[in-house]
Structure 1
Amino acid sequence: MSITNWSIEHWLTVLVFIVILSLAGYSSYVELPREAAPDITIPVVVVSTPYVGVAPSDMEKLVTQPLEDELQQLKDVRSMRSTSTDGVSIITIEFEPDVDIDNALQKIRERVDAAQSALPTDLTEEPIIQEISFSEFPIMIINLSSAQVGLAQLKLDAERLQDEIEKIDGILEVKLVGSVDREIGIEADPKLLEYFNVTLGELTGAIQLKNLTLPGGQVKMGDLSYTVRVPGEFRNVDEIQEVIIREAEGEFIRVKDVAVVRDTFQEAETYSRVNGLPSLSLSVTRRAGENILRIAEEVKVKVAEFQEANGGRILYGIDGDISKNINERVEELENNILTGLILVAGVLLFFMGGLRNALFVAAAIPLSMLVSFAVLAALDITLNIVVLFSLVLALGMLVDNAIVIVENIYRHGSMGRASPRRLAMAPLRSLGRSLLRPRRRSLASSRSCSGPGSWASSCLSCR
């Protein structure tokens, strides 16, 4: 017995099964992670090595070439490109598409470790190995600006917001861009140094000696053991100014006598502006496979709460919000389903003159979509632009096939030559394979009925 005959004979079981699948599909549709593009694994790895203050020619000779010599021993490499600039060496390795990227990363780490002995001993940082991944691109950027508070206070507020956003489930990283770190600058006056006969070495040595936290060992009291430490780090600028450099003729020479201590910021390496005002930006990145729409909504709630708490002193803006584009795509799919349902029902109702025929075809559209969502959830596939385009494309094919089947049943039913059960079975037997094979369907449609036993015969009198 074919699946068609079995379904007709056990229609109640099929109906229950459809209801269950529809409920599962709706639940899956609500919970399916949304993202702009599928998580594509690109077999490209970048090895970057910073070496501050080194010219490009020296970077190539001291860093790039030793690393390339080791990395050339890797297998399944399609191409390897290197760039040596002022203070940075970048090597880009592209593997064959079928290479396991995790295994490739491990092999690269081994080769880089093997090259360590040939690299300069005064490298400030070890080579950074990074995989190129689409999922690590920011889903939104939050800009903070203010004309009422300074950059220091703005940074504190940005860091608090950063901590709150990082608590959201599914957040991979929140990076603060445009900020500068606090720096205590000590500017020595050459004339005063000469007047007090103080060298720069004495000045720096005195400051370093006072800015120490020393361990004091352990103290045991009964069954308890306490760790002792002597804190000596500076807490403010005044303490630095009062540091004694040395004693001369009964008087103490202090830092403030020969230098000016400033509480300032490091030189900015990145800049951020909003409407001409200095600003800071928070770049939000989510984990692969997480629901962008949910994360974006929770982030916006956090931003709104912070804006309300600050009383309007700080302006918050969101740029590059990917969730807007995804929402538009999802709404477009929903509109296509609804539009297709209405148009198909209207056309069939007009040409076939039966509400039942129109409802049969129209019902196939949402039911098929719900089953698709259940399958996507079972296969752990996210709802992205590729999946949405495929569903819209399949929607047209689905409507075509449903119309052909229903129209065939309607035509045979108008002849009045068979029972309803036979009407449901016969057209599916004659058209089932043709609908699954487009080329064969085209051939069959060009033939006419040639009597009993003919492959292309579709009328009930011949079958």
Structure 2
Amino acid sequence: MRLSDISVQRPVLAMVIAALIIAFGSLALNRLPLQEYPTIDPPIVTIDTRYPGASASVVETRITQVLEDRIAGVEGIELITSQSEDGRSQIEIEFGIDVDINAAANDIRDRISGALRNLPDDADNPEVTKADSSEEIVVWLSLSGEEYSITELTDYANRFLVDSLSVQPGVARVRVGGGSDYAMRVWVDRNALAARGLTVSDIEDALRAENVELPAGSIESEDRQFIVRLPRSFANAEDFQRLALNAPRTPSLNQGESGYLVRLADVARVEVGAVEDRSVFRSNGVPMVGLGMIMQSTANVVELSEAVQVELERLQGTLPEGMSLSLNYDASLFVSGAIEQVVMTLFIAMGLVVVVMFMFLGNLRTTLVPAVTVPIAVIGAFTALAVMNFSINLLTLLALVLAIGLIVDDAIVVLENINRRMHDYGETPLVAAFRGTRQIAFAVIATTLVLVAVFVPLSMLQGDIGRLFSEFALTMAAAVVVSTLLALTLTPMMASKILKPGMHDSRIGRAVQWLLSGTQRRYQASLEWMLTMRWLVVALFVLLIAATAWLATILPNEYTPQEDRGNFIVLVNGPEGATFDYMMDYMDEIETRMTPLVESGELERVVVRAPRGYGNIENFNSGFIIVNMADWGSRRSAWEIMAEVRQTLSTLPGCKPSL
């Protein structure tokens, strides 16, 4: 074959090809994102519309159905689910896994813009958000301080921490959880308001009309120009207290029925407070504010975690006295641990391959050729991963581990044929490399095409399974193709330079050959016996097939195996209409019952969050608890701990905790 001939004639060319494979593979390896599994979650777009004061049935007919009719024709939609409740409509649109989420969100916004005129005037504009698997929070930091309120912690996090963490490599955005922003709280005195002939609507109208900044034009001279600004916004509680209320029914504007000027302080108590104080976010009983790092879709979770921890160390020195910032959760610990185990398996597999080749080939020079080509083929496969926009994950690494046995086949076949021609025909290594590689080149290519034909169709499967196995199958196919290229270039070149005429097997090689000869004799004897007992052999074969089929039916089935990730979540659901105080009594009790496990050292942290969700929360009958366990080697398994927690919480009345 011309490719192998050129490689033997011009060894520098073969070395350059191998060097390019290593260079491009190493470059791709450093740039590939690191994930636990391939991205299989479909792109999802959500539409959130609020209609204050409307019942669930009104929201369903006036908002949800109107929006569903408008978006139903968008291309690529797989499923639409909606939920209508008092004052709120939520629609979730799931697209096909190959749909661009940005284009899908734009299509939804375009459709919704045409439906705005059909929505009630009092309803807020629909809010369209997009979500995919990269929206998962991979690192949680907790900001706490006994001397600070939750609003103070939230304000500090938003002003000094969010921006610093958002610019770290791999961070898409930072979500603040469990916090509450500052708000001006107006506590209306209904009796005082009624005595002055005013209503709450009058207060709302006055706030909207007065708490604004309006442009007042400009002043120009011959050589200067000034912009005039009329500051009318309120900066503190005293400004709000002096607000004059509008009373249209009185003889004079901003005066009550008695004719006196009515200010907000006359009918209400004004103070700085929190937007929502009916929420709790605490760790081991300590109130805190969480900062969650959301990873970019192409980022490396381990590098992101390292960058955030470096920034965390820097931020520690800038915190006010009495305030602390600590790492609460790090998803990279499990991912990096799992990846390290697979990588270790990969190196062990390559090492065992080299040892086995030495035992059977019986010579160090002969063993050196496949020992060099196998790692190069593995490195070259990463280039294909980058071209196909894959990631380094458990499945792609598993594919490389399994592909080692296929990768080494090509080099062994070529090398064995070259070695055979040297011994049988007395050819020099150079001539044997020419003729031996040319003799079996098409057989090697045919074998590779057969393997590719086996694996590539797996990438055409639909759904989540297809997405998972596509990266697995194509990675194996890419590794086999690279190994074939090396078998036809680098292998014959190295054989022509390394192999020597008259090489003898080592003692280990001779011992292995002696064992193989004995095995061959015993196999021949057993084969002769089986040929005389044909019906018995056929019966045993049928019995094995039947036993295999029976075992396949009784083995448990699951999508993915259960894994001890070092944490678990307790979801708590209370009765419909339960208040925040009602739920907190149960959350406190659950936290108390789990305290002994924290004191024993098996649990590191119990994080309580109530109610569930982010942003504007209207239902308070839910909560959840994130349980972080100690290191794997210093505790029982996660399932044993979860069973104990489940038993401990089973006697809790009035709510339904689930793990």
Unmatched tracts of structure 1, length 5 or more: 443-463
Where 1:17 maps in the other structure, the secondary structure is helix
Where 1:350 maps in the other structure, the secondary structure is helix
Change in 2 beyond 3 A, CA 1:312/1:340: farther
The 10-residue stretch of structure 1 (242-251 or 227-236) with the greater mean CA deviation from structure 2: 242-251
Deviations 1:33-62 (A, max 9, x none): 323444558365433333233222111111
Matched with 2:430 is 421
Separation of aligned partners in 2, 1:73 and 1:247: 56
Deviations 1:353-377 (A, max 9, x none): 3111222121122211222234444
2:392 alignment partner AA:
L
- The partner residue of 2:405 within 393, 396, 404 is 396
1:150 alignment partner AA:
S
The 10-residue stretch of structure 1 (19-28 or 296-305) with the greater mean CA deviation from structure 2: 19-28
Separation of aligned partners in 1, 2:225 and 2:333: 58
Matched with 1:282 is 291
Matched with 1:338 is 347
Give the drift of 1:277.
Answer: 1.6
Matched with 2:154 is 155
Matched with 1:461 is none
Separation of aligned partners in 2, 1:361 and 1:413: 18
Separation of aligned partners in 2, 1:77 and 1:203: 45
Give the drift of 1:162.
Answer: 0.6
The 8 Å contact of residues 39 and 289 in structure 1, kept in 2 or not, is answered as no
Separation of aligned partners in 1, 2:261 and 2:56: 49
TM-score scaled by length of structure 1? 0.80
Deviations 1:398-447 (A, max 9, x none): 134333443444444444632212333444445444445559999xxxxx
2:366 alignment partner AA:
N
- The partner residue of 2:282 within 273, 276, 279 is 273
The 10-residue stretch of structure 1 (72-81 or 169-178) with the greater mean CA deviation from structure 2: 72-81
- Are 2:155 and 1:146 equivalent residues in the alignment? no
Separation of aligned partners in 2, 1:311 and 1:425: 75
The 8 Å contact of residues 151 and 181 in structure 2, kept in 1 or not, is answered as no
- Are 2:365 and 1:361 equivalent residues in the alignment? no
Give the drift of 1:121.
Answer: 1.7
Matched with 1:34 is 34
Separation of aligned partners in 2, 1:318 and 1:214: 45
Deviations 1:277-326 (A, max 9, x none): 22111222233323333332221111122223337733434355333344
Give the drift of 1:203.
Answer: 6.8
Matched with 2:600 is none
Where 2:137 maps in the other structure, the secondary structure is coil
Where 1:273 maps in the other structure, the secondary structure is strand
Give the drift of 1:14.
Answer: 1.0
The 8 Å contact of residues 337 and 366 in structure 1, kept in 2 or not, is answered as no
Where 1:63 maps in the other structure, the secondary structure is helix
Give the drift of 1:97.
Answer: 6.0
Separation of aligned partners in 2, 1:334 and 1:104: 37
- Are 2:2 and 1:2 equivalent residues in the alignment? yes
1:46 alignment partner AA:
T
The 8 Å contact of residues 344 and 358 in structure 1, kept in 2 or not, is answered as no
Q: As a proportion of its length, which structure holds more strand? A: 1
1:278 alignment partner AA:
P
The 8 Å contact of residues 435 and 441 in structure 1, kept in 2 or not, is answered as no
Separation of aligned partners in 2, 1:35 and 1:76: 26
2:412 alignment partner AA:
I
Change in 2 beyond 3 A, CA 1:137/1:198: same
The 8 Å contact of residues 40 and 97 in structure 2, kept in 1 or not, is answered as no
Change in 2 beyond 3 A, CA 1:337/1:310: same
Separation of aligned partners in 2, 1:376 and 1:75: 29
Separation of aligned partners in 2, 1:206 and 1:406: 90
Separation of aligned partners in 1, 2:271 and 2:100: 53
Separation of aligned partners in 1, 2:153 and 2:449: 69
Separation of aligned partners in 1, 2:223 and 2:75: 60
The 8 Å contact of residues 307 and 314 in structure 1, kept in 2 or not, is answered as no
Matched with 1:387 is 396
Greater RCO, CA 8 A, separation 6+: 1
Change in 2 beyond 3 A, CA 1:298/1:412: same
Separation of aligned partners in 2, 1:172 and 1:53: 36
Matched with 2:83 is 83
Matched with 1:458 is none
Matched with 2:60 is 60
Matched with 1:308 is 317
RMSD of aligned Cα (Å): 3.7
Matched with 1:327 is 336
Deviations 1:3-39 (A, max 9, x none): 1222112112211332343234333323333234445
Matched with 2:187 is 187
1:181 alignment partner AA:
D
Separation of aligned partners in 2, 1:209 and 1:68: 36
Matched with 1:164 is 164
Deviations 1:149-182 (A, max 9, x none): 2223311332211111122344321121111121
- Are 2:239 and 1:228 equivalent residues in the alignment? no
2:358 alignment partner AA:
L
Change in 2 beyond 3 A, CA 1:185/1:75: closer
Deviations 1:246-282 (A, max 9, x none): 6999998765555432221122465422111221112
Where 2:220 maps in the other structure, the secondary structure is strand
Change in 2 beyond 3 A, CA 1:142/1:53: farther
Where 1:139 maps in the other structure, the secondary structure is strand
The 8 Å contact of residues 216 and 228 in structure 1, kept in 2 or not, is answered as yes
1:282 alignment partner AA:
L
1:347 alignment partner AA:
V
Separation of aligned partners in 2, 1:20 and 1:2: 20
Where 1:42 maps in the other structure, the secondary structure is coil
Matched with 1:456 is none
The 8 Å contact of residues 337 and 365 in structure 1, kept in 2 or not, is answered as no
Change in 2 beyond 3 A, CA 1:74/1:235: closer
Where 1:309 maps in the other structure, the secondary structure is coil
Change in 2 beyond 3 A, CA 1:298/1:88: same
Separation of aligned partners in 2, 1:189 and 1:130: 39
The 8 Å contact of residues 155 and 181 in structure 2, kept in 1 or not, is answered as no
Where 2:225 maps in the other structure, the secondary structure is strand
Unmatched tracts of structure 2, length 5 or more: 246-254, 452-659
Give the drift of 1:228.
Answer: 0.9
- The partner residue of 1:348 within 357, 363, 377 is 357
1:33 alignment partner AA:
P
The 10-residue stretch of structure 1 (413-422 or 432-441) with the greater mean CA deviation from structure 2: 432-441
Give the drift of 1:350.
Answer: 3.1
Separation of aligned partners in 2, 1:345 and 1:413: 22
The 8 Å contact of residues 175 and 292 in structure 2, kept in 1 or not, is answered as yes
Where 1:272 maps in the other structure, the secondary structure is strand
Separation of aligned partners in 2, 1:225 and 1:441: 80
Separation of aligned partners in 1, 2:94 and 2:3: 49
Change in 2 beyond 3 A, CA 1:96/1:136: closer
The 10-residue stretch of structure 1 (223-232 or 310-319) with the greater mean CA deviation from structure 2: 310-319
Separation of aligned partners in 2, 1:52 and 1:41: 33
